[in-house]
Structure 1
Amino acid sequence: MTTTALIIGDLQAGIVDNHPFVADLLPVTETVLSAARAAGILVIFVRTGLRTSGLDVAAGNPLVAALNRAGALFHEESSETFVHPRIHPLPGEAVVLKRRTSAFTATDLDLLLRAQRIDSIVLTGVATGAMVAATLYDAADRDYRLTVLSDACADGEPDVHDFLVSRIFPARGADVLTSEEWISRL
């Protein structure tokens, strides 16, 4: 028996509201989220937030340092890092705070999934070349079965998105489906 969780990554207010390619995902994500909830699938939201103090920013990590310098957009207590209100979590749905690219790195995501006997993950969110890819690789190393919803992910560089979903993710064992294909299988 397969037990599945839907992971919605980094669709937080500041990212969605400041990047048009991300805002385009909201209608698709709303449909996927509604279908998952109706099917009784565990939904886990993931958001990126750094400490305002910068204590979690290593000097040798220029990407994380740049995110921290972006100010409220990536500071954990800022409403900019909260899940976008159009897809807000319902009571009882988990929100995982991450401080790095993978949703597994230094979070309790694996604990939540294993506690609920999840063995299959459906990945959505942004960016395809960052959170989605890093989480997919990490999940594969942890022996989760993987599905990526190609139209519920996006990247600021569409060619990166296309290459990952058409070539790399399938080669790493992930099923890549459209949201419509996935919903039809529920």
Structure 2
Amino acid sequence: MTTMTTVTETAPAIDPARTALLLMDFQPAALGAVPDPEGLLARAGEALAWARAHGTHVVFVRVAFAEADLAAVPARNKAFARVAEAGHLADGHPATAVHESLEIREDDVTVRKTRFGVFAGDTDLRAELRGRDVDTLVLAGLSTSGVVLTTLRQAADEDYRLFVLADATADPDPEVHRVLMEKVFPRQAWIVATADLAALSVPGSR
């Protein structure tokens, strides 16, 4: 695994009540494509435990296609046309479920998406976050160059304060992960480790 240098010394405090932890695409279809899936799941579980202990909102995101979604993918979409043609990532298949080690509770937000980013399409995530007065997002997921990259850019354009959990995020290509974490993401987000979350949590901070 690539060693990441975190920047918690310059990161702002996190107000847990106005923060959402986004656990994105922790599902067998994605876990099978990245290095150290067991370690990633363990750290995602640690981030989830932090959120539960601090009253932070939790959002579970997964990619899955209903039959109508697959039929609606245009041939010009280079990435997802191949998914649609092969009938991959079908909703209801075990490969598209959130991994069983991550417990979903009644008050959590769940998002089923059909593109890379969590804000794409007809998801209700924007309204959910506004209704919960969330202004900060903590991102973890698979893959770094897919859902994490796209969601980070979209969320930054919508003025969220952003943190990325470097050790709870991975890509099939470790070099792509390194470049994004070290050279691209820090322009719009603070890069931290899961273990840093408790120290950054300051209720009522802005």
Q: TM-score, normalised by structure 1?
A: 0.91
Matched positions, count: 183
Q: Does 1:153 align with 2:169?
A: yes
The 1:123–1:70 alpha-carbon spacing in structure 2 relative to 1, beyond 3 Å, is farther
Distance 1:92 1:69 in 2: 36
Distance 2:48 2:197 in 1: 12
Identity %: 34
Residues 71-116 of structure 1, C-alpha deviations (whole Å, 9 max, x = no match): 4x51122232111001131222111011111100111111111110
RCO (CA 8 Å, sep 6+): is it higher in 1 or 2? 2
The 1:142–1:20 alpha-carbon spacing in structure 2 relative to 1, beyond 3 Å, is closer
Q: Which residue of 1 aligns with 2:153?
A: 137
Residues 29-68 of structure 1 aligned to structure 2 (within 5 Å): 29-53=44-68, 54-68=70-84
Distance 2:172 2:128 in 1: 30
Q: Which residue of 2 aligns with 1:89?
A: 104
Q: TM-score, normalised by structure 2?
A: 0.83
Paired residue type of 1:82: A
Asked if the contact 1:49/1:81 (under 8 Å) is kept, the reply is yes
Distance 1:13 1:95 in 2: 17
Distance 1:67 1:183 in 2: 39
Residues 52-74 of structure 1, C-alpha deviations (whole Å, 9 max, x = no match): 35223111012112223454x51
Residues 92-107 of structure 1 aligned to structure 2 (within 5 Å): 92-106=107-121, 107=123
Distance 1:137 1:20 in 2: 22
**4+ long deviations beyond 3 Å:** none
Residues 128-180 of structure 1, C-alpha deviations (whole Å, 9 max, x = no match): 01100000000011111100010010000111111111111111x21110111
Paired residue type of 2:153: Y
Return the offset for 1:21. 1.9
Q: Which residue of 2 aligns with 1:118?
A: 134
Distance 1:166 1:38 in 2: 30
CA RMSD in angstroms comes to 1.7
The equivalent position to 1:6 in structure 2, one of 3, 7, 21, is 21
Distance 2:30 2:85 in 1: 15
The 1:20–1:128 alpha-carbon spacing in structure 2 relative to 1, beyond 3 Å, is closer
Structure number with bigger Rg: 2
Q: Which ranges of structure 1 fall in alignment gaps of 5 or more residues?
A: none
Equivalent position SS for 2:101: helix
